[in-house]
Chain A
């Protein structure tokens, strides 16, 4: 089976702009979780979607949002970008007990 794919792999945006990142889960996986990784804060949970519904949410401001489509693909959106949003954004999909991560999207905000 193909693994979790994320697009784009690299992105450069300017402060104040908004960005949308995409994640395609492993075929058959219905749960998609998003994480942010920065040197200062490490790997932090953003939110989880299951069957098109947000099931879990981490401690991030409302500028971070997401959605899931009927085919389980997911997108996350960050509005009004700040320099501190520069990070590796990781998506993971799971069927039962194990989450499998994608390669991530490296976002740089200038």
Chain B
């Protein structure tokens, strides 16, 4: 079973920030938080990942709470092309294993 909980759907107005929450209360110390998104019938696209510090790249920012039990993915200026299913995954990827357990994700609908 997936170790994360996400709302099934969210709406966001075009041009506004999209804040997608994720709960991962059973995360262990060596597990990363990963975010992927999947636009209809395409392969999942990597967005960002982090261990305990906040991270930012050209696509998004990842805010992880101090206790690491939850995180938020922030898309600073959402566009229509950001409409997708967003998956939050916790995994100790890399090293001896490369295995991602996907949940049902959040369907983000960006409205014009």
Q: When A and B form their complex, what is the total count of cross-chain residue pairs whose Cβ atoms lie within 8 Å?
A: 66
The secondary structure that dominates the B interface is loop
- In the bound complex, do residue B43 and residue A102 qualify as a contact, i.e. CB atoms below 8 Å apart? yes
Contact of B100 with A by CB under 8 A: yes
Contact of A56 with B by CB under 8 A: yes
Task: Give every chain A residue within 8 A of B36 (Cβ-Cβ).
Answer: 101
Task: Give every chain A residue within 8 A of B96 (Cβ-Cβ).
Answer: 55
Stretch at the interface among B5-13, B20-28, B44-52: B44-52
- In the bound complex, do residue A104 and residue B43 qualify as a contact, i.e. CB atoms below 8 Å apart? yes
Task: Give every chain A residue within 8 A of B34 (Cβ-Cβ).
Answer: 98
- In the bound complex, do residue B45 and residue A97 qualify as a contact, i.e. CB atoms below 8 Å apart? no
The secondary structure that dominates the A interface is strand
Quick one: which of B46, B49, B102 contacts A43, CB cutoff 8 A? Answer: B102
Quick one: which of A45, A48, A94, A100 contacts B101, CB cutoff 8 A? Answer: A45
Contact of B99 with A by CB under 8 A: yes
With both beta carbons as reference points, the residue of chain A lying nearest to B41 in the complex is identified as: A88
Task: Give every chain B residue within 8 A of A98 (Cβ-Cβ).
Answer: 34, 46, 49, 93-94
Complex Cα–Cα for A21 and B108 (A): 31
Within 8 A of B (CB), among A34-54: 35, 42-45, 48, 50
Q: Mark B80-112, 1 if CB is under 8 A from A, else 0.
A: 000000010000011011111111100000000
Task: Give every chain B residue within 8 A of A106 (Cβ-Cβ).
Answer: 41
Task: Give every chain A residue within 8 A of B32 (Cβ-Cβ).
Answer: 97
Given A45-B100, A90-B43, A98-B49, 12 extra CB contacts under 8 A = A31-B98, A35-B102, A42-B103, A42-B104, A56-B99, A94-B93, A94-B94, A97-B94, A98-B93, A99-B46, A101-B36, A102-B43
